[in-house]
Structure 1
């Protein structure tokens, strides 16, 4: 009872001061109190708003990473937060976890205790909400741990996003009708996996090890000065399992699949435009390469054209290697191994999973 009486007395005193003292003085006292509290507190606080800038028009990528990171943490330890918000999109069976508004989730990093609080405040005279995360961090370790902890969050968030996102199967259209040349997609839900694939165990292990090394080999590719891409050439009769192997690779890596139909591509420029539209973490499949491009005649035609020019003949049959009027082997190789191969350097991308002609 004595404690309650003292609390009521304090509240009464605060009410009197609020009515007597001017608002400027109250604001000053409040600032001094917060400064004293920050000075005595063993923690530092960092706010991460949903939008950058004063007007709040640019999305804060770090906010998205924190949201994904806490989603991943709550997937593995659902008891990390006292209250969670659960959701599921119509196109996915995966349940998404999120920290409920104005609740806190605890985390540990290098044996240090941290906490995240999800703030959601209503904007005055508006239906919109202002969202942010506040990180409580040990003050004496913030200069040593903060940078590495944020890097850990980004890495974990990107990995969780890669594994949990809905994968897509893309195919190129030829610009007919109301569509512009580009890609159209549907959800990729092929059931093939390495566990269900009929393949020799040693070869299966070799492929999986190679894919794992590629997916985690960013630093190696940069160190040797090569674009972070990988190529496979598959050959075999119909029904031998080429498409199933590609689907198993996509499911193993959690990559999208781009099925490139070369017969719908008019020239090398359109081919290059299509390939640079592909996203990170994808497998590009080019079927029937040997019957879709001229593999042998390009250099011969260029040589014949050169001879015709020497004899002052201005007209000749056929076109040269790089005239741009059709898709050539030169144009395909220039993207996979030439200067254009650096497109998407920061990505985990298999540039072309070539499936040889079915015989």
Structure 2
């Protein structure tokens, strides 16, 4: 009987609650209902532990771009906190050496920082609820298929911590996460070789470049250049990479420009690869002939990343960079055309405004847009520096002009060591007589010192043709080639060749 009375009491209590709830909805003003809800929430919070919360959205609410802090947090969690998690999300980018782990939605993991336990939770965000409004069209390496075209919800990381440690979390832990993620990226990143795509309507910044793994074997130790010049370039590069604060203090963008010039085959491309390998930078090979306008050139510039080398090879062949010298003549021709056909003159003027120009290249190298991405080298190569406009060569745009000339005796010694194993300590191949090898090396060096012109590429081709025949045969063939060039009659310069040179 007591059990029956107890159940009757419970039933009466539930009925009373339902009646009270209905009365609240029907008779209580909305303002009073909101006030009561807030009051109950505060009362409940008073009995809960004091917890601080930081929300890290996948997309930046202001611009809709990817949130670097979200990416850094996922990378940090994947390396530090997910080893014991019951569930992880794995994603392997194309050509990446290993998969990347991240925290799945509605899952939690923990971390300890200076004795303070923090909790990370991944949550999906309903479209319209986040500041970014869904962040449509933003690429993220942890959500490669969830953006654009109506696919996938944006995500958010929730960081919870004891409120009394707010200063520690805000002032130190967040920066710790960013620093550790940066170190992991540098240790594991695969350097890339990028080339710009032909422009097409609707291209975004993620489709301006195509990339491949960069694995060029050239190093400063294998460069066939004068050792003093090689060491000077290496010291200049290392000094540049270590002087971020200096550039900020003097008010200059953290970038440096190199002009590499010299005859074909003197090692300009190999030097670019050695620079990238020394600094561990990505390489952006910019083909100016596929860039339609100055504005597209600016888009290419701002879409590059820090720690990169932007290379424009054979700049004199890519476009006419001497247009200011011919401006008066072009203006005269345009004036004559406007008299003959005003419509044709207007079309030519519009075409000229839309095409890439010397002014666009100068702004690309040293304008305001050039400071958008720091820690970057710009390297131009040319076989004919005299064809370039002086404005492109002034300090601040081309900080160093490096001439790579014909092979010298020190450069020959580098090539002999690389290809034949011939060094100061002798010859690696026991079948070669050391005295004979030394004599042939002295003959070749003497011919080079006497003014015989041959490029390092030509010497490398001679050595490659004697692969397996031994150092003696290779050096004898090189000495014969140098004598042939010394004794060959000088080729007269024709009027047509002189005009082409001019």
Same-fold call, TM > 0.5? yes
Asked if residue 335 in structure 1 is aligned to residue 364 in structure 2, the reply is yes
**What is the TM-score of this pair, normalised by structure 2?**
0.48
SS at match of 2:235: helix
In 2, Cα distance between equivalents of 1:170 and 1:158: 25
Question: Helix, strand or coil for the counterpart of 2:324?
Answer: helix
Whole-Å separation in 2 of the counterparts to 1:130 and 1:19: 42
* Distance in 1, Cα, partners of 2:153 & 2:316: 57
Kindly indicate whether the alpha-carbon contact (under 8 Å) linking 1:280 and 1:344 is maintained by their aligned counterparts in 2.
no
Equivalent residues, number: 314
**RMSD, aligned α-carbons:** 5.0
RCO higher in structure (CA 8 A, sep ≥6): 1
Tell me which of 289, 293, 296 is aligned to 1:273: 296
Secondary structure, aligned partner of 1:283:
strand
Q: Does 1:115 align with 2:140?
A: no
Please show how residues 168-183 of structure 1 align to structure 2 within 5 Å: 169-173=194-198
Q: Contact 2:208–2:300 (CA<8 Å) still a contact in 1?
A: no
For 1:68-217, list aligned pairs within 5 A.
Answer: 68-72=72-76, 74-75=78-79, 79=83, 81=85, 83-101=87-105, 102-108=107-113, 111-120=114-123, 131-143=155-167, 145-154=169-178, 157=181, 164=189, 167=192, 169-173=194-198, 185-192=209-216, 198-199=222-223, 202=231, 205-206=234-235, 209-210=238-239, 212-213=241-242, 217=244
Aligned-pair distance for 1:304? 6.9
**Do 2:123 and 2:156's aligned partners in 1 also have CA atoms closer than 8 Å?**
yes
- What CA deviation, in whole Å up to 9, does each residue of 1:231-281 have, x standing for no partner? 122234545443344345446656553323344557xxx245323333132
Query: Counterparts of 2:378 and 2:231 in 1: how far apart (Å)?
Result: 24
Deviations 1:12-31 (A, max 9, x none): xx999888645689977962
Question: CA 1:315–1:145 in 2, change beyond 3 Å: closer, same or farther?
Answer: same
**Residues 129 and 303 of structure 1: is their aligned pair in 2 closer, same or farther, counting only changes over 3 Å?**
closer
State how far apart, in whole Å, the 2-side matches of 1:16 and 1:46 are.
Answer: 44
Confirm or deny that 1:283 pairs with 2:322.
Answer: no
Query: 1:50 and 1:274, CA in 2 relative to 1: closer, same or farther beyond 3 A?
Result: closer
Does the residue aligned with 2:238 lie in a helix, a strand or coil? Answer: helix
Q: CA deviation at 1:305?
A: 8.1
**1:47 aligned residue (55, 63, 70):** 55
Q: Please give the secondary structure, in 2, of the residue aligned with 1:347.
A: coil
Is contact 1:65–1:154 with CA below 8 Å preserved after alignment?
Answer: yes
Gaps in structure 2 of 5+ consecutive residues: 1-9, 25-32, 127-150, 338-351, 385-454, 456-502
Q: Which residue of 1 aligns with 2:489?
A: none
Distance in 2 (CA, whole Å) between partners of 1:336 and 1:302 is 21
- Shift of the alpha carbon at 1:303? 6.4
Indicate the SS of the match to 2:310. strand
Q: Normalized per residue, which structure has more strand?
A: 1
In structure 1, distance between residues paired with 2:195 and 2:259 = 20
State the 1:353 CA deviation.
1.3
Contact 2:218-2:273 at 8 Å conserved across structures: no
Q: Contact 1:194–1:204 (CA<8 Å) still a contact in 2?
A: no
TM-score normalised per structure 1: 0.63
What's the CA shift for 1:146? 0.9
Question: Is the 2:310–2:379 contact (alpha carbons within 8 Å) kept by the matching residues of 1?
Answer: yes
More helix by share: 2
Q: By how many angstroms is 1:342 displaced?
A: 1.6
Gaps of 5+ in 1: 1-13, 309-313, 317-322
Give the deviation of 1:354 after TM superposition.
Answer: 0.6
Q: 2: CA distance between counterparts of 1:208 and 1:129?
A: 44
User: Secondary structure of the residue that 1:298 maps to in structure 2?
Assistant: coil
Equivalent pair of 2:51/2:162 in contact (CA under 8 Å)? yes
Q: Is the 8 A contact 2:75 2:101 kept in 1?
A: yes
* Structure number with larger C-alpha Rg: 2
